[in-house]
Chain A
């Protein structure tokens, strides 16, 4: 461990802890309808947006109205994006003259960006026009993150409000989150990125002759604006194929640090915001503590695994950790990023995840398998975590034989059922996807590696698709028709079959009255609760995935230590 590694390991969490309350209170003020000072001039745009859309922002919605508006808006965005991608050859801003996408790839990509997954079965630099990137994918980057924030806001209101089945207004939440949170943060980050060398150009690709006289194509494009929102909104879809490893997306240590920080900032702020909105700030920080501990453990174990290759590897053990990593980032920062991006449901990568050590890759997979609730995506991480909390207080209630309560409201069988669906459905989908991949010829043909690494590759893919992460082990053929179609289904199911139960839950809770806390109430802000919650998260993942993880990353580690290759 070098001094610069230690600086990074101290600086990142310190800055994150310091900024989370600010970002959280900013988020709350915005969601309560207040315009932050300095952005007042945007208020005019906000009001004209409501007039244009034709909605009244103060009109309260029931969970059903909220869900219908959310689903309809996302379906429209997804459909129009798919059409745009198929028609890009006749649209402007296409200096390379790239052809329209096939329907399968266009639908997969549209679904991927609408669900905040950003799984990419293509490389942007030889597939997408500037128009598609900017007015297509870039827009969904904002809207999918805003959708996540909207669900979080609805859930918080459901828990806070008593007696009225009102969750707020979807259009207002969407607009406020986009205008006052996502765009300003992305704008500031984008400017810094441009100053570091991230490209932002509408020119066609440059053609140069290298020092030895060979021709080289320099790909360009409006990347900086898109890279900024892909990190702020935990989208993770790269402008270029190799994502944030590409020097044009991530050219310097500063750009690297700020992007890493941006991946975790809003997911952490969402937890803080939830605490403020429900007047349960201590509870929110107990959640943050659990998330922080799980991520720190993953980072620690992963760093050890990456920097201590098995002795059986001999001399090449020195070179192995740098395979699939960039010199300017180095091993430690790449491992931290790999864990952060899989924990926070970003999926942007600065290293080739297929070349991580078996255990580091396994931990990255586990982060996603936990359900993307260790920080998780913007909004989605918190609402996923709340479902897990509901199961935890239910479990605690069983132990003491009392009706469980959460934030002063009774948790009854309907709530437990909905939480169980939201938690277990993704688990089932991941396992079903793996089975289909191994048992069908179409699934098997897409696998690009051998031995236990192939198991990791497939498990990683389904963990990423279902939990809307979007990163992949690159040896997998993501463009195979099997993955394009089955993957699209998994991304939609993993996103909206969690969002709908969460909104149903919020609607049900909104109708309940607050009950006074009694001696039988299980406190949800202490050490006991935190330990029980962490245990619950790990036990559900272990019971579901232990066999798969054993024949994947664990077996690969043992065989690598024994000197086996495939």
Chain B
């Protein structure tokens, strides 16, 4: 019985320390120094949130660069992966029917991969340029944006953020 009382009191004490004080201290740090990141890295345009920099969003038309395919169709609560193994018939058919770069055909682990490779971005730009009636100069401008905004490459593969790329694309006028 004494051990039971010790256990109950210890559980309560550790719940307050590790379950309340510790997260609150981390939260306070985030709220003070990284409020935007701590709250989901929301991206604003004209004062309106158009998504999170870190979460892929479903994209249908040719006017935007698409994120990687999502097993959960870009659902966020929850998101999903295909979990298909290498001998899975459906997976093999899906990959065979999409002759893009490897990242364009395969579904990501999170179902919300916010990034694509620079190769995929450049490849997709052709279709975007056509849909928007861009001149060669405008397409070059978008390509330059990709080149100067590619992240990673030191301990990870290089990657480009899709939402930021699409916002940059929107800044280039149609038909020019």
C-beta contact mask, B76-102 vs A, less than 8 Å → 1, else 0? 111111111111110110011011001
Query: Which of B54, B109, B116: most chain A Cβ within 10 A?
Result: B109
Interface segment, one of A317-325, A410-418, A461-469: A317-325
Bound complex: CA A142 to CA B15 (Å): 10
Number of interface residues of A (CB under 8 A): 125
Bound complex: CA A565 to CA B153 (Å): 35
Contact A2 B157 (CB under 8 A): yes
Bound complex: CA A540 to CA B81 (Å): 34
Contact A199 B159 (CB under 8 A): no
- Nearest residue in B to A449 (C-beta to C-beta)? B85
Q: Report B-chain residues with C-beta under 8 Å of the C-beta of A252.
A: 151
Interface flag for B154 (CB, 8 Å) = yes
Contact A54 B26 (CB under 8 A): no
CB distance from B2 to the nearest CB of A (A): 8
Contact A187 B156 (CB under 8 A): no
Q: Report A-chain residues with C-beta under 8 Å of the C-beta of B79.
A: 125, 240-242, 246
Q: Report B-chain residues with C-beta under 8 Å of the C-beta of A319.
A: 95, 98, 102, 105-106
Interface segment, one of A29-37, A69-77, A389-397, A522-530: A69-77
Q: Report A-chain residues with C-beta under 8 Å of the C-beta of B111.
A: 242
Q: Which of B27, B74, B88, B159 contacts A327 (CB under 8 A)?
A: B159
Contact B40 A326 (CB under 8 A): no
Contact A218 B78 (CB under 8 A): no
Q: Report B-chain residues with C-beta under 8 Å of the C-beta of A72.
A: 3-4, 6-7
Bound complex: CA A328 to CA B115 (Å): 7
Q: Report B-chain residues with C-beta under 8 Å of the C-beta of A208.
A: 42, 48-52
- Nearest residue in A to B161 (C-beta to C-beta)? A328
Contact A241 B108 (CB under 8 A): no
Contact B157 A330 (CB under 8 A): yes
C-beta contact mask, B56-78 vs A, less than 8 Å → 1, else 0? 01111100100010000010111
Contact A139 B156 (CB under 8 A): no
Interface flag for A534 (CB, 8 Å) = no
Contact B95 A320 (CB under 8 A): yes
Query: Number of residue pairs across A and B with beta carbons under 8 Å?
Result: 359
Bound complex: CA A248 to CA B111 (Å): 12
Bound complex: CA A564 to CA B86 (Å): 10
Interface segment, one of B16-24, B122-130, B131-139, B140-148: B16-24
Q: Report B-chain residues with C-beta under 8 Å of the C-beta of A229.
A: 18
Contact A210 B58 (CB under 8 A): yes
Contact B156 A256 (CB under 8 A): yes
Contact B102 A253 (CB under 8 A): no
Instruction: Using A253-B152, A323-B106 as known contacts, say yes or no to A214 and B92 having CB atoms under 8 A apart.
Output: no
CB distance from A331 to the nearest CB of B (A): 8
Residues of chain A from 164 to 223 with CB closer than 8 A to chain B in the complex: 171, 174, 178-179, 182-183, 186-187, 190-191, 194-203, 205-206, 208-212, 214, 216-220, 222
C-beta contact mask, B33-57 vs A, less than 8 Å → 1, else 0? 1100111111000001111111101
Contact A216 B155 (CB under 8 A): no
Contact A194 B38 (CB under 8 A): yes
Query: Which of B20, B33, B52: most chain A Cβ within 10 A?
Result: B52
Instruction: Using A191-B29, A203-B39 as known contacts, say yes or no to A138 and B87 having CB atoms under 8 A apart.
Output: no
Q: Report B-chain residues with C-beta under 8 Å of the C-beta of A219.
A: 76-77
Interface segment, one of A346-354, A363-371, A481-489, A496-504: A346-354
Residues of chain A from 48 to 103 with CB closer than 8 A to chain B in the complex: 49, 52-55, 68-69, 72-73, 75-77, 80
Contact A143 B81 (CB under 8 A): no
Interface flag for A309 (CB, 8 Å) = yes
Q: Report B-chain residues with C-beta under 8 Å of the C-beta of A316.
A: 92, 95-96, 105
Query: Which of B29, B37, B85: most chain A Cβ within 10 A?
Result: B85
Contact A248 B155 (CB under 8 A): no
Interface flag for A289 (CB, 8 Å) = no
Contact A202 B27 (CB under 8 A): yes
Interface flag for A41 (CB, 8 Å) = no
Contact B3 A241 (CB under 8 A): no
Bound complex: CA A174 to CA B14 (Å): 10
- Nearest residue in A to B163 (C-beta to C-beta)? A211
Q: Which of B10, B19, B25, B33 contacts A195 (CB under 8 A)?
A: B33
Bound complex: CA A556 to CA B42 (Å): 43
Residues of chain A from 306 to 361 with CB closer than 8 A to chain B in the complex: 309, 313, 315-316, 318-330, 333-334, 349-352, 354-355, 357-358, 361
C-beta contact mask, A130-171 vs B, less than 8 Å → 1, else 0? 000011101100110000000000000000000000000001
Instruction: Using A196-B37, A211-B170, A323-B106 as known contacts, say yes or no to A224 and B13 having CB atoms under 8 A apart.
Output: no
CB distance from A239 to the nearest CB of B (A): 11
CB distance from B21 to the nearest CB of A (A): 9
CB distance from B110 to the nearest CB of A (A): 4
Bound complex: CA A182 to CA B88 (Å): 41
Interface flag for B30 (CB, 8 Å) = yes
- Nearest residue in A to B68 (C-beta to C-beta)? A327
Contact B23 A134 (CB under 8 A): yes
Bound complex: CA A126 to CA B170 (Å): 33
Bound complex: CA A220 to CA B98 (Å): 34
CB distance from B46 to the nearest CB of A (A): 12
Interface flag for A105 (CB, 8 Å) = no
Would you give 6 A-B contacts (Cβ < 8 Å), ordered by A? A143-B14, A197-B54, A241-B79, A242-B81, A320-B106, A326-B115
Q: Which residues of B contact A (CB under 8 A)?
A: 3-11, 13-15, 17-20, 22-23, 25-27, 29-30, 33-34, 37-42, 48-55, 57-61, 64, 68, 74, 76-89, 91-92, 95-96, 98-99, 102-103, 105-117, 151-157, 159, 163, 166-167, 170
**Given A178-B17, A210-B59, A240-B78, 20 more contacts at CB 8 Å?**
A4-B157, A45-B17, A77-B11, A142-B18, A179-B17, A183-B18, A200-B38, A211-B167, A211-B170, A216-B51, A216-B55, A218-B40, A241-B78, A309-B86, A321-B102, A326-B110, A329-B157, A333-B156, A349-B109, A450-B88
Please name the 7 residue pairs, one residue from A and one from B, whose CB atoms are nearest each other, closest first: A123-B78, A253-B156, A245-B109, A354-B83, A474-B83, A352-B81, A135-B19
